[in-house]
Structure 1
Amino acid sequence: MNPLVTALEGSLIVSCQAYPGEAMRDPRTMAQVASAVQTGGASAVRAQGLEDIRAVKAAVDVPVIGIWKDGAEGVFITPTLEHCLAVIEAGADILAVDGTLRPRPDGRSLAETVAGVREVFDGPLMADCDSAESALAAAELGVEIIGTTLAGYTGAREKTDGPDLELLAELAGTLPATSVLVAEGRVHSPAQAAAAKSTGAFAVVVGTAITHPSTITTWFRDAVAGA
């Protein structure tokens, strides 16, 4: 197992992203957020977009998991081999890609994309999956990190309130030893993060609940308004 992956065991990974049009949508801001979560104990940081990846890489000492979101429908998380190569060039230590079985914009399969990446990159890969089927398919390709990132967002599984613990439990007992299972998606509280770890996750990714103040504010606003 790659040492970068081994070091993530039992840890918290933080996703530092801002959506288009938001006040925090700035590489310098995301780099500061990344530095702050490293201080808080994050073992790695997930960054979106080439400029953010470069800025975050310069700001932290922990591994950077790089993605490039391009589009809003279908496969848009590092969707093509071209996107993958650009994320690697930007400095990502770990490359994350859409790990679902859906068609990709460039016509390549996930297997072809992984093969193309392996020709130039010896770092770990992370597959953002949506089901047990896609997760096992990615693991069979040798992808080192299998994430539940897209569970509930593609129609392959019903969207759960909180992390998809049922999927985590299923995958915890079926993934090959060459891949590790990372919980990601709707982990909104420390209790949910602990539940994901207890269910079998090798590591847990938290994004919105730590790094997205606009959404966090709506949670509190709605709670106060409804009280």
Structure 2
Amino acid sequence: MIETLKSSLIISCQAPSDSPLHHPDIISTIALACVNQGAKGLRIDSPSHIKAVKKLLPDIPVIGLWKQMGLDSSVYITPRFEDAVAVSEAGADIIAIDATLRSRPNGETMPQLIAKIKQELGKPIMADIDTFESSIEASQAGADFIGTTLYAYTEATQNLIPPSFEFIEKLVKTIDKPIICEGGVKTPQEVRKALDLGCFAVVVGTAITGIDLLAKRFTDATLK
């Protein structure tokens, strides 16, 4: 199943927690629309949404995660092993975790979390990294995929603008794991460029499924 993701588009189907779209049935319907138009994989947040998507689309690979806020840490993408367990049990085919080098909410290190997931859950891991250093450590720890998800979204990288094709090219050339381009991809041309540079796959979210944010951008343009 995972091999079908090679050289493909993965669409992240998520919605803000205060959006009317933030409902399992709606997210799964959005996911179906994306698959109908050729998406080969999906990135889904939270166990309830993952379950709904897998029920509707059992044969489509799902990268699952669980955003957990308020844990006294800036790490929020599947930050703890218990979150990974819930994501796995919901049916995710790949578990995405924050693989930055920041302190985690329970003091567990990123390599320790990866090792525990591999040993106890047996699911492939997508390591959401922000820097070259974190990509090296995640790769050495056993992550199956390296994603650029958090490039420009952490304290160490907040002044950068995604996607950085220079950064992506460096990862492709030096990291011996499949590289997934994610973060800030806005056009089909950028998808093509990332694949041409050697990325295993590309994830697009807001530019396709971020209805709330897209609507706000357009309505803001009407204001003086």
Normalised by the length of structure 1, the TM-score is: 0.91
Distance in 2 (CA, whole Å) between partners of 1:159 and 1:216 is 23
* 1:182 corresponds to: 180
Residue of structure 2 in register with 1:77 after alignment = 77
The CA distance in 2 between the partners of 1:159 and 1:42, in whole Å, is 31
Q: Which amino acid aligns with 1:209?
A: A
In 2, Cα distance between equivalents of 1:225 and 1:194: 35
Q: Which moved more, 1:23-32 or 1:116-125?
A: 116-125
- The secondary structure found in structure 2 opposite 1:210 is helix
Q: 1:198-220: per-residue Cα shift (whole Å, max 9, x none)?
A: 23321100001111112222344
| 2:38 pairs with 1:38 | no
Give, in whole Å, the separation in 2 of the partners of 1:201 and 1:221. 35
- Cα distance in 2, alignment partners of residues 174 and 191 from structure 1: 24
Displacement of 1:81 after TM fit? 0.8
Q: 1:159 to 1:27 in 2, by over 3 A?
A: farther
After the TM superposition, list the runs of 4 or more consecutive aligned residues in structure 1 that deviate by more than 3 angstroms: 158-162, 218-226
1:208 and 2:210 correspond:
no
Counterpart of 2:196, as a letter, is S
Residue identity (%): 39
Aligned residues of 2:152 and 2:162 also touching (Cα < 8 A): no
Contact 1:162–1:188 under 8 Å retained in 2: no
Instruction: Give the aligned partner of residue 196 of structure 2.
Output: 198
Across the two proteins, how many residue pairs are aligned to each other?
Answer: 221
Q: 1:21 aligns with which of 13, 18, 23?
A: 18
Q: Which amino acid aligns with 1:57?
A: K
1:212-223 aligned at under 5 Å gives the runs 212-222=210-220
Per-residue CA distance 1:77-129 (angstroms, 9 max, x = gap): 00011111111111111101001011111111111111211222222110000
Give 1:160 deviation, angstroms. Answer: 4.1
Give the Cα separation in 2 of the matches to 1:120 and 1:131: 27
DSSP-derived class of the 2:19 partner: coil
Are the structure 2 counterparts of residues 81 and 160 from structure 1 closer, same or farther at C-alpha, using a change threshold of 3 Å?
Answer: same
Matches of 1:225 and 1:200, distance apart in 2: 42
Within 5 A, what are the aligned runs for 1:117-136? 117-136=117-136
* 1:19–1:25 contact (8 Å) kept in structure 2: yes
Contact kept in structure 2, 1:163 and 1:196, CA below 8 Å: no
Q: Which runs of 5+ in 2 are unaligned?
A: none
Contact 2:115-2:142 within 8 A present in 1 as well: no
SS in 2 for 1:200: coil
Instruction: Indicate the residue corresponding to 1:9 in structure 2.
Output: 6
